[in-house]
Amino acid sequence: MLRNALARVKDGPFEIEHLTRLDDGLSRLQKGDVDIVLTDLTLADSAGIATFDQLYASVPHIPIMTLSAAEDEPLAIEAVARGSQGYLSKGHFSSYLVPQSLRNIIQRKAVEESMFIEKARAEITLNSISDAVIGTDMAGNVDYLNAAAEAMTGWPRAEARGRSIGEIMPLIQNGTRQHKANPVELVLQQNEPISLTPGSLLLRRDGSEAAIEDSAAPIHDSGGHIRGAVIVFHDISAAKAMAAKMTHLAQHDFLTNLPNRVLLNDRIAQAIIQAERSGTQLAVLFLDLDNFKHINDSLGHAIGDKLLQSVAQRLRACVRGYDTVSRQGGDEFVILLSEGNNVEYAALTADKILVTLAQPHSVDGHELHVTTSIGISAYPADAKTAESLIKNADTAMYQAKEKGRNNYQFFKNDMNTHAVERQAIESHLRRALERHELILHYQPKVNLKTGEITGAEALLRWNHPQSGLMLPDRFIAIAEDCGLIVSIGRWVLREACKQAKRWKDEGLTPGSIAVNISALEFRRKDFVDEVRAILAETGLLASCLQLEITESVLMRDVGCSTKVLQQLKNMGVQLAIDDFGTGYSSLSYLHQFPIDILKIDQSFVQDIATATGNGIIVSAVIAMGNSLKQKVIAEGVEKHVQLAYLKGQHCEEGQGYLFSRPLAPEQFAALLGAGIARTVYN
C-alpha cells in the first residue's frame, strides 16, 4: 500500500528499500543516502519501543516515522516523545497526504540540522573570541554570556541567566567613580546601536575593576522588531598601561627618569602662556657638568651613568615641586623655574645647585667631585620662545665655562656674538689647513741640572687672517668637537717630524720632539700605522719622537690603550703622560703602561712657594716617577724659586716661560745655537 501511495507522486517517485529485520535496517543505514525511515515497531528480530530507540541512536539526524495499527497508537506516541517525527496509521496509506507529509518531514529535519550546525558554529565562535559578549532580553535580563564574558565578569552563564545586565555588568566612570548606566539599557530604549563610552570601568563580581571599551546593539527578529540586545566589550587595562608607559618613555630620559627635551619644551611653552597671562617672569637654567668627560673617560660609562643619576637626584632636591628638571642628553641639564619667579630666585637656585653638586658623590666606592657651569635666561627679557630661552641659557652657560667654571652667568645680548664666533671658528678651521694658516711653535725642554736643551714640544698656532695668532685653547676643543682634530693632528705630527729632521740635517741638535695627541687621534685604528708611515716618510728616528697623551685618554679603555702604547713603544717612540695629576688615574694601571715620561701639570708647579701651596704634589710625583723609572718634566716653570725647588727635588727636566716661551721655528733654531742663558741658572 505504501509503495503504491509513494509511487503516485507528481514531482517524482520515492525510491524505496524494504527490509524486514532491524539488523538489516541498521546496517543499511550505516551506508548512508537515506532521507527518511519508516518503521514498524514489530519486526522479525525486534519489537516495541526498543526498536525505535536503536534506530534513532544510530541515525539521530535522519527523520524516523513509525507505522502503527490503531491499537498500537500509545506506542507510536511514546516514540514521538523519544524523537520520532510522527506516525502513519496503517490502513490510511493511500491518502495523497502521505508523500506530501514525508517530504515536509524530510525538509524540516534538514532545516533543523543546518540550524543546529549554525548554532554550534556561532557558539564555538563566540567562545573562541577574546571579546566578551552578553545578550539580554527586552527587560535587560541576561540570556547569554560567552566564555570571555564569564571570565571578565566572574559570573558563570548558568548563574547569570535571568539577572539584570546592571547586576552582571555594573559600570562606573573612571575618575568620578560614579555609577554609569549600562549601554544595553539605552539600546533597549532607543533601538539603536551605541558604540564606545570612554572611561568605563567594569566592576567584577569579586570587586576588582577593569578598564573596558564597549559597544552594544539591538537584536531584531525576522519582523524587524527589537527582541533584546547584545553588548560586546574588552579589557583595555593592559593596552592603557602600555600606552601610559609609551607616553612616559617618549617624554622622559631613560637614564635619570627626568623629563626629556620633548616634555621640557612643552612645559616651557605652557609656562610662557601662563606667564604672559599673569604678567610674570620665568627662568631657564642650562647646566653642563665641568669635568664629567674626565670621569667618564677614566672610570668608565657605568660609573659616569651613576654619577649622572646622582646629579639628577640632587637637582630635583634643589627646586620646588612644580619646577621642571630635565636632562638634555650627555651631561647637560635644563631647569625650568616657573610660576611668577623673579630673577633673584633664579640666582638663589643656581647658587644652591653649585653648592649641592659640589659635595662629593659617592659612586661604587669612588668619591667623585664634579662642578657645574650654569647659564640663565629669563622670559620675557631674554627670549619669547622655549627654543630661544634654552639657546640663550646655553650661550650664557658657555660664558660661565669661560669665566672659569663652577659659576653661573645671566644671559646678556652680546653673548650671542660669542656663540656666533664659535660657529665662525669652526667654519674657518675647516679651510685653515688648506690655506696653510696653521703653524707650529716650539718650546724647549731643558735639563734642570745642566741647562741643556733636551728637546722641544711642538705647540699648534693658527695664523688667523682676521684675528691674528690664535692659541690652541681657542680652537682645539672646537676641532675635537667637529672631528677636524684628526686631520689637523696628522698635519702637526708630520710637520713636527719634518722640522726636527731638517734641523738635524742642518747640523743642529734639537733632541726629541714632543707632539700632543688628542683622544680622537689616539683612538683611531690606524693611529700606529700613521705614526710609522710619517716617521718613514720624514726619515726621523723613532727615538726622537715623543707623544704626549693625557691620563684620561689612556684610562678610557685600559686594555686598548696598553696595546697601542706597546706597539708605539716597540717602534721606539717615547711616550709621555701630559698634564699629569689632573685626571682620575688609577696608579695601578699607570704602572702597567709602558710610559717613559710624566709631565707634571703646570698648576702644581705654580703652587710651589705660594701662600697656599708648598709643592708637595710636585715632590710626590717626582718621587713616584723616580721609583717607576720614569723621567719627570715640570711644565709651566716661570720663576726662579720654582726652578730651585725642582732642582732640589731632583726633577730631571723642565719647560716654561722662565727658559723660553714657545718660539717660531727659526727663533727656536737660533736658541738651539745659543743655548739657555746662564743667568737663568745661577
Using alpha carbons only, give the angle 17, 20, 22 rounded to the nearest 5 degrees: 100
What minimum distance in Å lies between the beta carbon of 608 and ligand C2E? 12
Closest to 305 measured CA to CA, from 252, 363, 248, 260: 363
Task: Tell me the three cell numbers of residue 59.
Answer: 541515525
Query: Smaller CB distance to ligand C2E: residue 391 or 501?
Result: 501
Q: Does 489 bind ligand C2E (CB under 6 A)?
A: yes
x/- mask, ligand C2E, residues 563-582, rule CB under 6 A, reads: ---------------xx---
Query: Smaller CB distance to ligand C2E: residue 235 or 548?
Result: 548
What minimum distance in Å lies between the beta carbon of 349 and ligand C2E? 35
| Rounded Cα gap, residues 481 and 520, in angstroms | 10
Q: Does 473 bind ligand C2E (CB under 6 A)?
A: yes
To which H or E segment does residue 447 belong? strand 438-447
Query: Smaller CB distance to Mg ion: residue 383 or 632?
Result: 632
What minimum distance in Å lies between the beta carbon of 655 and Mg ion? 9
Q: Which residues pair with 333 in a beta bridge?
A: 287, 327
| CB-closest chain residue to ligand C2E | 656
Answer with the entry of ligand C2E, Mg ion, none that 492 interacts with (C-beta below 5 to 8 A by kind): ligand C2E
Q: Does 460 bind ligand C2E (CB under 6 A)?
A: yes
Contact pick of 636, 646, 649, 653 for ligand C2E (by CB under 6 A): 636
Task: Tell me the three cell numbers of residue 93.
Answer: 496509506
Contact pick of 443, 574, 585, 630 for ligand C2E (by CB under 6 A): 443
Window 661 to 680, contacts with ligand C2E (CB under 6 A): 662
Window 578 to 617, contacts with ligand C2E (CB under 6 A): 578-579, 602
Closest to 214 measured CA to CA, from 189, 230, 193, 197: 197
Query: Smaller CB distance to Mg ion: residue 382 or 548?
Result: 548
Q: Does 653 bind ligand C2E (CB under 6 A)?
A: no
What minimum distance in Å lies between the beta carbon of 474 and ligand C2E? 9
Query: Smaller CB distance to ligand C2E: residue 357 or 460?
Result: 460
Using CB atoms within 10 Å of the CB of residue 58, give its burial: 0 to 12 exposed, 13 to 18 middle, 19+ buried: middle
Which region, judged by CB under 6 A, interacts with ligand C2E, from 55-63, 267-275, 426-434, 633-641? 633-641
Contacts of 482 (CB under 8 A, 6+ apart): 426, 429
Contact 393, 284 (CB under 8 A): yes
Which region, judged by CB under 6 A, interacts with ligand C2E, from 201-209, 254-262, 403-411, 469-477? 469-477
Give the SS3 label for residue 654. strand
Query: Smaller CB distance to Mg ion: residue 140 or 636?
Result: 636
Contact 522, 481 (CB under 8 A): no
Contacts of 102 (CB under 8 A, 6+ apart): 6, 14, 36, 65
Q: Does 492 bind ligand C2E (CB under 6 A)?
A: yes
Query: Smaller CB distance to Mg ion: residue 275 or 496?
Result: 496
Query: Smaller CB distance to ligand C2E: residue 351 or 480?
Result: 480
Q: What is the DSSP letter of 200?
A: E
Query: Smaller CB distance to Mg ion: residue 361 or 445?
Result: 445
Give the helix ranges, DSSP H, for 438-484. Answer: 472-481
Contacts of 557 (CB under 8 A, 6+ apart): 523
| Rounded Cα gap, residues 254 and 380, in angstroms | 32
x/- mask, ligand C2E, residues 325-354, rule CB under 6 A, reads: ------------------------------
Q: Does 654 bind ligand C2E (CB under 6 A)?
A: no
What minimum distance in Å lies between the beta carbon of 462 and ligand C2E? 10
Total number of residues that touch ligand C2E (CB under 6 A): 23
Give the residue carrying C-alpha cell 661604587.
Answer: 364
What minimum distance in Å lies between the beta carbon of 400 and ligand C2E? 21
Contact 164, 179 (CB under 8 A): no
What minimum distance in Å lies between the beta carbon of 475 and ligand C2E? 9
Answer with the entry of ligand C2E, Mg ion, none that 78 interacts with (C-beta below 5 to 8 A by kind): none
Q: In what order do the strands lie in the sheet with 64-68?
A: 37-40, 64-68, 86-89
Window 542 to 561, contacts with ligand C2E (CB under 6 A): 548
Q: Does 17 bind ligand C2E (CB under 6 A)?
A: no
Q: Does 640 bind ligand C2E (CB under 6 A)?
A: no
Q: What residues make contact with Mg ion under the rule CB under 5 A? A: 516, 548, 578-579, 635
| Rounded Cα gap, residues 643 and 653, in angstroms | 10
Q: Does 656 bind ligand C2E (CB under 6 A)?
A: yes
Quick count: other Cβ atoms within 10 Å of Cβ 473? 7
Which region, judged by CB under 6 A, interacts with ligand C2E, from 39-47, 153-161, 250-258, 631-639? 631-639
To which H or E segment does residue 679 belong? none
Contact pick of 386, 476, 564, 632 for ligand C2E (by CB under 6 A): 476
Contacts of 442 (CB under 8 A, 6+ apart): 456, 457, 458, 459, 499, 513, 662, 663, 664, 665, 668
x/- mask, ligand C2E, residues 505-524, rule CB under 6 A, reads: -----------x-x------
Contacts of 195 (CB under 8 A, 6+ apart): 215, 216
Write down how long the chain is: 682
Tell me the CA end-to-end span of the chain in Å, nearest whole number: 152
The pair phi, psi for residue 296, each rounded to 5°, is -60, -40
Answer with the entry of ligand C2E, Mg ion, none that 443 interacts with (C-beta below 5 to 8 A by kind): ligand C2E
Give the residue carrying C-alpha cell 604672559.
Answer: 276
Contact pick of 86, 199, 472, 665 for ligand C2E (by CB under 6 A): 472
What minimum distance in Å lies between the beta carbon of 293 and ligand C2E? 14
| Rounded Cα gap, residues 425 and 507, in angstroms | 39
Q: What is the DSSP letter of 582?
A: S
Closest to 498 measured CA to CA, from 442, 558, 561, 566: 442
Which region, judged by CB under 6 A, interacts with ligand C2E, from 123-131, 228-236, 447-455, 651-659? 651-659
List contacts with ligand C2E (CB under 6 A): 443, 459-460, 471-473, 476, 489, 492, 516, 518, 548, 578-579, 602, 635-638, 655-657, 662
